[in-house]
Structure 1
Amino acid sequence: MARYPNNRLRDLLSEAGWTGAALARAINEVGGEAGLALRFDRTSIAHWLSGMRPRDALVPDLAAEALTRRLGRAVSAAETGLARRELVTAEPQELPLLGSGGGRDVYRTDALQVAGWSALVAQGESMVAGRPAGGRVAKAELDSAAAMMRMFSELDATVGGGYARETLAGYLDTTVVPWLRAKASADVRRRLLVTASRLAYLCGFMSFDDECHGTAQRYYLASLRLAAEAADRLGYAAGLRALSVQAEYLKHFEDAARLADRAAEAVPAEASPRARAFLAAQQATSYAALGDRRAALEHLSRAERHIEAASDSPSQVVSYHAAAMAHSRANVLARLGERSAAIRDLTTSIKLRPVEERRSRLVTLAHLAELQLAERRLDQACATWHQFLDEYPGVASGRARTGYATLRSVTASFPRSSAVRALRGRLAAAG
């Protein structure tokens, strides 16, 4: 088959002011957000410019997202000239939460322009279009979904998001979606939509924890739409907050602050102090990442006042407690350059963290060790990493794996330290 030069891609490169190597680096970075370890280089781009197409069907979407970020406007996969014809004309999925959750979705910055609460409610579109399912959904199905929510939440907290996120995605596909298509009373349907929203949120968080960010974003967006269909303002606010946390993690700081503000604005009037603390703390963290010290400390102070006033128990939606508040405070202070104070608060967070929240404690230990190292407290960092290694086996978490990779790199950077040699010996023994 004859090949023709890809002038569309060449024009986009020219508009972006990028070399082929720069585009390759950007695609690799976007791929990393999707859980992919890519190694494209300028030679790869040269092949594509000559008319070759990438073998991986996801690459056109990765290139489109990289160019979207660079140009500040939406670029489609079709515009890159890299997508195969059948992919360009394919119909979109009817429901964002469909799929295996396998980490093959692209994290899209344009998807962060989420419709407001009123706009979503006014759309009045069902999340679950398509052929109605047979049967009728009643209390038994609601109780079953609630039990599955508890089970998956416990698994996530204990052994990490990577352990069962694909299983949860499959449960949403094969069980929850057919129930949403089945006949039900208005009350049962609304309650099922709320539970489906919570399950999609949890699947998003499990994917986020496993550093499959495109998949996480897709489930978070599904959670938002399900919450709107259920008239669940708190679920909608929680979904916006989750998108903010993810955007901040991926260094899209302006998006993170905007989403955090929208989450706080969307919270219903009857929201508890704990829920308000949950949202204000993310505003604080986002503004600290932007370098806005005044706004960050104002939001942090408000979050602390709310958590002190909280009398209700943490819930599946707002699982926010004293350990989480200490962790948020540490994130804000670390962003503002107050590492010693952040170390103090992370230490407090670890002490207060419930024993069943093993994954969160592990991720916090990794963060604490990195801050201790940044403050030149090498022996303390090594002691913290020993604690990390005590808890690491059996946890399936991309964030934990990143912490482990940092630990291995540190042991190669301080060959003369006896504390580091002890860590290196332990790593060697573990294989």
Structure 2
Amino acid sequence: MSAPGGRISNHALRKALDECRWNGPAFANEVNRIGREMGLDLHYARPSVSQWLGGVRPRPPVPEVIAEAISRRLGRRVTAEETGFGVPGPRRGGYDLGEERPGGPAWPPKSPVPYSLDALAAVPDLSGLGFGSARERGSALAARDVRSVATMTEMFACTVAQFGASPARKAMQSYIDTKLRPLLLRPAKPGVRWELLNTATRMVRVCGYAHYDDEAHGNAQCYYLLSASAAIAISDTDAVARVLRLLSMQARELGHAAPATRLARLALEHGRNSGTGMRALLHGQLSAAAATAADGKTADRHLRTAKKLAGEPDGRTWPGVLTGAYVSYYEAVTASHRGDRTRAITALAEGVRRCPADFARLRVIMLARLAELQAREGRLTAACRTWSQFLSQSEAFRSASIDTAVRRAKAILHPYRYHETAAEILAQIAHRHRHDRVLPETI
């Protein structure tokens, strides 16, 4: 049967929606929600769904978003082709960071891709993303090449931690595509090769975190999975644990409690021989994930372990202080999900106090969440003081996560807009939007 205008009705999509038992508005809402996970501002409603069923094809990457929505609903992988939209989107696996693909698309893709629960199900079996299969060519790698990558990695990581993701994200993508990939194609002695892959693992992980901070969650997931595959390839269990923790953090914050808990357990398993500070973070993440999944006993047990490890002697050193700040954050998440808002507020305030100056992004995010908890607790004046700190300390930041925190503050305070203190914060937000400075996209 043909739709008006000569289009062919999308019977495959109709069949999928029937299987999902979704009406038009419910389906559109889920597509919008998954779009937000990848940084897309979608506003589909029933008329759009009717158009899709009538043969209209939405612009990329929406067909992939639709496929992901149906996949989650049915609990099995459904491709864009199977929903009647024809051309498949970017693949999730099978590309090597050092793979030579003349004229092919960059991997991970630069265009937005959906966050995929199906991709998480494969962790830690990531052999399809393996490293080292490329044909070697060019002059031999030298130690100075590895040092150069390590220096750039450190610079990118510091930029994201101190100024947010937006100033560094595209520069990092470009560096990986144009500098790191060619290095991975060059011949090298085993020791130099290992050092390069170890450094590449961290750079790709940092790039994933930058996408996470900019709320491009599907692309962040691609980089995280690639980093994990590299760490597995060189048997670096500590690096595997680090990236699995980040994958768990991302899944939890997106509301996927079960995958977050499974990933946190895997991270802890791989990190059993990591240093004290990292093991504290791994136990803390499992505590937060378990609390989100309403497993209070597991959450409490691992939080106790995290706090114990964070209190060991290296807790007085700089890395130990950062660990203590993170563990306080995990305690706040766990307490909040267990209904103890007062304890959560106390823990977040302690996390803000302990956070090192070099990790300004972590501190301002904790300030934003502390203000939200204070507001929900009815402590409006205290919340406004905290939001004032957040706005002043995050002024130089450019990232989608900071922008979201500002929008949340505005939404929470809107009902109190005639309250003097709340009105002052709303005025600061309005002034910030009017005079937002644009930072360069590259470093």
TM over 0.5: yes
Q: Which residue of 2 aligns with 1:416?
A: 418
The answer to whether the 8 Å contact 2:374/2:380 transfers is yes
Q: Distance in 2 between matches of 1:127 and 1:229?
A: 7
Q: Which residue of 2 aligns with 1:266?
A: 270
The answer to whether the 8 Å contact 2:384/2:422 transfers is yes
Q: Secondary structure at the match of 1:357?
A: helix
1:281 aligns with 2:264: no
1:113 aligns with 2:121: yes
In structure 2, give the amino acid aligned to 1:214.
Answer: G
Alignment of 1:313-392 (within 5 A): 320-392=322-394
Deviations 1:2-41 (A, max 9, x none): 4211110000000000112221111111111110001111
Alignment of 1:98-247 (within 5 A): 98-99=106-107, 102=110, 104-116=112-124, 123=127, 126-127=130-131, 129-247=133-251
Q: Secondary structure at the match of 1:201?
A: helix
The answer to whether the 8 Å contact 1:53/1:83 transfers is no
Q: Distance in 1 between matches of 2:409 and 2:52?
A: 38
The answer to whether the 8 Å contact 2:406/2:429 transfers is no
The answer to whether the 8 Å contact 1:330/1:342 transfers is yes
The answer to whether the 8 Å contact 2:287/2:334 transfers is yes
Q: Which residue of 1 aligns with 2:440?
A: none
Q: Which residue of 2 aligns with 1:81?
A: 84
Q: Secondary structure at the match of 1:424?
A: helix
Which stretch shows the higher mean deviation, 27-36 or 420-429? 420-429
In structure 2, give the amino acid aligned to 1:66.
Answer: A
TM-score with structure 2 setting the length: 0.90
Q: Secondary structure at the match of 1:321?
A: helix
Alignment of 1:43-62 (within 5 A): 43-54=47-58, 56-62=59-65
Which stretch shows the higher mean deviation, 400-409 or 378-387? 400-409
In structure 2, give the amino acid aligned to 1:331.
Answer: V
1:311 aligns with 2:314: yes
How far did residue 394 of structure 1 move? Answer: 1.8
How far did residue 319 of structure 1 move? Answer: 9.3
- Of all paired residues, the percent bearing the same amino acid is 33
The answer to whether the 8 Å contact 1:101/1:165 transfers is no
Q: Distance in 1 between matches of 2:197 and 2:414?
A: 50
The CA RMSD measured in Å over matched residues stands at 2.3
Q: Distance in 2 between matches of 1:421 and 1:41?
A: 34
Any gaps of 5 or more consecutive residues in structure 2? 99-105, 435-443
The answer to whether the 8 Å contact 1:274/1:310 transfers is no
How far did residue 416 of structure 1 move? Answer: 3.0
Structure 1 residues 243 and 25: alpha-carbon distance in aligned structure 2, compared to 1, 3 A threshold: same
The answer to whether the 8 Å contact 2:322/2:355 transfers is no
TM-score with structure 1 setting the length: 0.92
Q: Distance in 2 between matches of 1:348 and 1:141?
A: 41
Q: Distance in 2 between matches of 1:268 and 1:38?
A: 42
Q: Which residue of 1 aligns with 2:18?
A: 14
Q: Distance in 2 between matches of 1:136 and 1:100?
A: 26
Structure 1 residues 203 and 422: alpha-carbon distance in aligned structure 2, compared to 1, 3 A threshold: same
Q: Which residue of 1 aligns with 2:437?
A: none
How far did residue 111 of structure 1 move? Answer: 0.6
In structure 2, give the amino acid aligned to 1:204.
Answer: G
1:248 aligns with 2:252: yes
Q: Distance in 2 between matches of 1:310 and 1:325?
A: 15
Deviations 1:280-328 (A, max 9, x none): 000000011111111101000011111222538666xx99522112111
The answer to whether the 8 Å contact 2:96/2:129 transfers is no
Q: Secondary structure at the match of 2:19?
A: helix
How far did residue 235 of structure 1 move? Answer: 0.8
Count of aligned positions: 421
How far did residue 194 of structure 1 move? Answer: 0.9
